């Protein structure tokens, strides 16, 4: 019993002595100087091969990088290399499952903290052409189907599907109404309280 007391007392004294030399954390350290702010890499997308990833550069290029070395290996997509491109920059991108098509997000207009409307464009690397997802108004939460042959999106609270093979657009829901019936996207409560930005 005496040994346990001595051990606890020694640890207590040691912690008091060691804490005397340490600097106290202030609110300024946390909120102003950002001493404890996390460091992150944004816009990173893993590629299918598992040994490469892509990043965005200057809102106009997609660069292929090596996980092993971190080095940029090649430019997979460059807006400035496309003749008569309808867009000058993009804010985000998504690859199709076979990585032959890229869904580009541009002209973003915020709605709430995470949600937005945008114009989406598709780059087909096989055909080497870029074209709008839809020319009938801004879209939300566009995403490729698992086979990469279609893109689903929301416009004015209704769900649409665009066939990339046939170039056709089909409306799936017809009852969407602002602040009443919202198809395919969460309302602001789910977005703010639960962090959902697509359904």
106-117 mean pLDDT: 90
- Enter the pTM of the model: 0.77
pLDDT (tens digit, 9 = 90+) per residue, 153-185? 999 999 999 999 999 999 999 999 988 898 988
Question: Same domain for 104 and 176?
Answer: yes
Q: For residue 34, is it within any domain?
A: no
Q: What is the mean pLDDT of the chain?
A: 87
Give me the domain span that covers residue 46.
41-81
Provide the pLDDT for residue 17.
54
Q: For residue 64, is it within any domain?
A: yes
Provide the pLDDT for residue 19.
55
Q: For residue 160, is it within any domain?
A: yes
What is the total count of domains within the chain?
2
Separation of alpha carbons 80 and 60, rounded Å: 7
Question: Same domain for 162 and 119?
Answer: yes
Backbone angles phi, psi at 190, to 5 degrees: -65, -35
């Amino acid at each position: 019993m005496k040994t346990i007391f001595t051990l606890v007392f020694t640890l207590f004294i040691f912690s008091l002595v060691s804490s005397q030399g340490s600097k106290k954390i202030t609110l300024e350290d946390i909120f102003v100087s950002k001493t404890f702010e996390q460091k992150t890499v944004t816009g990173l997308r893993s590629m299918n091969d598992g040994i490469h990833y892509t990043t965005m550069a200057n809102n106009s290029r997609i660069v292929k990088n090596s996980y092993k070395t971190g080095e940029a290996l090649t430019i997979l997509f460059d807006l400035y290399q496309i003749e008569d491109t309808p867009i000058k920059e993009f804010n985000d991108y998504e690859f199709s499952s076979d990585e032959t098509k890229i869904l580009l997000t541009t002209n973003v207009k915020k709605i709430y903290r995470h949600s937005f409307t945008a114009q989406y464009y598709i780059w087909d690397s096989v055909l080497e052409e870029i074209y709008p997802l839809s020319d009938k108004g801004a879209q939300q939460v566009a995403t490729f189907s698992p086979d990469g042959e279609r893109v689903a999106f929301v416009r004015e609270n209704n769900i649409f599907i665009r066939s990339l093979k046939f170039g056709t657009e089909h409306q799936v829901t017809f009852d969407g109404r602002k602040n009443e019936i919202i198809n395919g996207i969460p309302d602001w409560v789910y977005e703010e309280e639960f962090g959902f930005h697509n359904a």
